[in-house]
Amino acid sequence: MGYRVVLTADRTLTSSYNGSMFIGFAACFPRVLPKWLYTRLFCPPQPRRKGTIDRAPCGLRKVQAALVASGIPDGDIGIAHPDRLSTMIGPETKAIGITSSDPMGRGPASSTFSSLLGRETYTTYFFRKLVTDPAIRSSDAKVIVGGPGAWQLSDDAERARLGVDCVVEGEGELLAPELFMNAIQGRPLPSKVSGGPVPVEKMPRILGPTINGTVEISRGCGRGCEFCNPNMRLIRHIPMERILEEVKINLNGSNKITLHSEDVLRYRAKGMRPERAEVVRLIEEVLKLTENLGISHIALSSALAEPKLVEDISELAGADGRRHMYAQTGIETGSVALVNKHMKGKAKPFDPEKWPEVVKESIKLLSDNGWIPCGTLVMGMPGETAADVEKTTELIADLRGYKCLIVPLFFVPLGEMKDDEFFKSEEMLPEHWVLLAECMEHDFRWAPVLMEELFRQNRLSSTRVRLFRIAAWYMQRRLREPMELMKEGKDPRKEETGFGSGEGGPPERQPEAAG
């Protein structure tokens, strides 16, 4: 049986990541582990129920709801398991919608890891596997790709090679209905289209559960960092009634909820300082429905601006020595000069000159209250000097005593900086290698501790726990020697360490692109 419209995503976006969105970071790993081990540990597949998936990426659910709201019957839309497309795509199928976060491996995490280790990432591998699936290649349906990584498919030749008919950049709820209806009725589609910020009243309520119970509470940021998507400049808050409706939809068959926003602490805020009462009320209402509550992202400046809010959430959610609140956050740099140049709003309501102190005090506050932040850095921003990198290294060294993870990422030209160049490993200064070693030293100290706590919190099977420990031991063993060279400011790829050679990974077999 085929559906008129099939919506899907690749394996790296349709997994529950063993119950932790943090583990989903591993989707950006290069292919240095055997696929069977990687998929079992980091991106295990969902159960196959007649070709469908029970839980879909949040963005895919938004598109589904927008199509139904426009008049396309829900029964005509299939949410397909990426491994069972042939059971969903048939002669009746006129449009195939795919959401992707990193189709060509050009996102910050993917481009960093692949550049350093000399391997393509799993995001690239599984996206290519999806679009070259025989069920898609043999279909006459139009292929429409959207999602956070759609910008990577701007090249006409690349789209043609992959068989993509239309790419949707930006927010898609307003654009999707017309595009899919045109595909259904056999009308031509534009090769590329961009969607601006969608008003809250135009954001449809999801119709089915999402991965790890992800519920969007706000969209946008408003801090104005130059390297961010322009749509992020306008922050919009979802009414609490709608949020709670989507929480209840997600609790059908699961008890896990992940509140998603660029900064959960600024829900319903009118400026850069959090509205403590609004956030606390939201948390209280969600906890009435489930005790299994997670948070996607926070801003360090928001946490420090309202420390009582952090304490309140910890108390409400029961964060203690055995259970933690996890959240991704942006450290970006320790250089005040770069903050002033590219991201003045990052520190608000504090002055940009206070940014290093904001990071340190905020991480301490979060750590004291049972939070585990995963902080990202940006290496190679335009205008970055050796002195800027040294400032960032000093900042990371000051965080060594706090239980958190640090993920260094290469600069990717987006937003106002889209005309700049990608930063590549060949451009790394000796100071960049020292910074990378400092981050690795930090993570080697805390990752095993965090991993054991995550195992307990998510109640993973003993088999998976053993496999995680083996994989972690293997990675640390391989990276110890290269890390010692990095500490001296040396490129370990130029030495006999195997770093960046791809040794020990799976063979680089790439399927032929049909047509």
140-194 pLDDT, tens per residue?
A: 999 999 999 999 999 999 999 999 999 999 999 999 999 999 999 999 999 999 9
Query: What is the predicted pLDDT for the residue at 469?
Result: 78
CATH superfamily of 209-471: tm_1862 like domain (3.80.30.20)
Which of the four pLDDT bands, split at 50, 70 and 90, describes residue 507? very low
Which of the four pLDDT bands, split at 50, 70 and 90, describes residue 272? very high
Neighbours of 460 (CB within 10 A): 19
Which of the four pLDDT bands, split at 50, 70 and 90, describes residue 511? very low
pLDDT for residue 252 is more than 70: yes
Which of the four pLDDT bands, split at 50, 70 and 90, describes residue 472? confident
Domain(s) labelled CATH 3.80.30.20 in the chain stretch across 209-471
Amino acid found at 113: F
Distance in angstroms (rounded) separating the CA atoms of residues 483 and 60: 40
Tell me what the mean pLDDT of segment 45-63 comes to. 90
Amino acid found at 200: V
- Strands (E) in 196-277, as ranges, are 214-216, 218-219, 236-237, 256-260
Which of the four pLDDT bands, split at 50, 70 and 90, describes residue 36? confident
Tell me what the mean pLDDT of segment 383-403 comes to. 97
Query: What is the predicted pLDDT for the residue at 466?
Result: 78
* Range in 2-11, 89-98, 468-477, 486-495 the model is least confident about: 468-477
pLDDT for residue 91 is more than 50: yes
Token couple for 468: 């995680």
User: What confidence tens digit (pLDDT) does each residue in 107-148 have?
Assistant: 888 888 888 877 888 899 999 999 999 999 999 999 999 999
Domain(s) labelled CATH 3.40.50 in the chain stretch across 5-200
Query: Model pTM?
Result: 0.91
Distance in angstroms (rounded) separating the CA atoms of residues 247 and 21: 17
Token couple for 147: 């999602």
Percent of the chain surpassing pLDDT 70: 94
List 170's β-bridge partners, or say none. Answer: 195
Percent of the chain surpassing pLDDT 90: 70
pLDDT for residue 458 is more than 80: no
Q: What is the dotted CATH code of the domain comprising 5-200?
A: 3.40.50
In this structure, are residues 376 and 300 in contact, taking their beta carbons and an 8 Å threshold? no
To the nearest whole number, what is the mean pLDDT of the chain?
90
H-state helical runs in 10-141:
35-41, 58-69, 108-117, 122-131, 134-137
User: What confidence tens digit (pLDDT) does each residue in 328-356 have?
Assistant: 999 999 999 999 999 999 999 999 999 99
Query: What is the predicted pLDDT for the residue at 247?
Result: 98
Distance in angstroms (rounded) separating the CA atoms of residues 413 and 420: 6
Neighbours of 260 (CB within 10 A): 21
Query: What is the predicted pLDDT for the residue at 498?
Result: 59
Whether the CA torsion 407, 438, 303, 233 is positive or negative: it is negative
User: What confidence tens digit (pLDDT) does each residue in 214-226 have?
Assistant: 999 999 998 988 8
452's enclosing H/E stretch is helix 430-458
Contacts of 185 (CB under 8 A, 6+ apart): none
Token couple for 428: 């790394």
Query: What is the predicted pLDDT for the residue at 504?
Result: 38
